[in-house]
């Protein structure tokens, strides 16, 4: 489907204005820290990266997919595992945009993808590194 500037309305400007603080919140709130669960996630990821067998040599109640991705990120760059959620949230937003485009116009799709989705995922009760973020992103994108 081809889009043009005529498909956009004044709501598009409002979407951009609202998206700016929401994405600032995403960037500030989605970075994993070593406090609380983040430290556990990073420790288990380091163990998996060092060759320990998950659920035998080192254990956490997360799915193996989570630690394999965190391990791959830490192998690529030692700091990348802190920023994994910054990859999942845009993927979830893209999935919502693709889904919304099947039922609503461009403006509403953009609003849902750029404002509502990141706000709901990284809302006031979010803790960076929660393992539901990859699943949420993959389901919305699928």
DSSP secondary structure of 96-139: HHHHHTTTS-HHHHHHIIIIIHHHHHTSTT--TT-THHHHHHHH
- Tokens encoding 25: 């919140």
- Tokens encoding 113: 């993808």
Distances in Å between the alpha carbon of 14 and those of 59, 102, 110, 115?
A: 46, 22, 10, 10
Q: Return the SS3 of 54.
A: strand
CA atoms lying within 13 Å on the CB side of residue 127: 10
- Rg over CA atoms, the chain: 18
C-alpha span between 59 and 103 (Å, rounded):
43
Question: Which sequence spans correspond to the domains of the chain?
Answer: 11-30+84-142, 33-77
Question: What is the pTM for the complete model shown?
Answer: 0.78
Could you read off the pLDDT tens digit of each residue along the chain, which spans 142 residues?
Answer: 565 666 667 888 888 899 999 999 888 877 777 766 777 888 888 888 888 888 889 888 888 888 888 888 888 887 887 788 788 899 999 999 999 999 998 889 999 999 999 998 887 777 776 667 888 888 998 8
């Amino acid at each position: 489907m081809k889009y043009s500037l005529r498909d956009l309305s004044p709501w598009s400007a409002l979407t951009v204005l609202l998206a700016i603080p929401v994405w600032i919140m995403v960037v500030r709130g989605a970075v994993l820290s070593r406090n609380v669960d983040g430290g556990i996630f990073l420790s288990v990821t380091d163990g998996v990266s060092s060759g320990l067998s998950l659920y035998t040599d080192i254990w956490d109640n997360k799915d193996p997919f989570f630690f394999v991705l965190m391990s791959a990120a830490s192998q690529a760059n030692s700091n990348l595992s802190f920023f994994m959620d910054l990859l999942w949230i845009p993927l979830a937003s893209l999935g919502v945009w693709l889904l919304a485009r099947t039922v609503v116009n461009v403006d509403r799709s953009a609003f849902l993808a750029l404002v509502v989705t990141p706000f709901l995922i990284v809302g006031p009760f979010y803790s960076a590194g929660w393992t539901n973020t990859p699943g949420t992103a993959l389901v919305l994108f699928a």
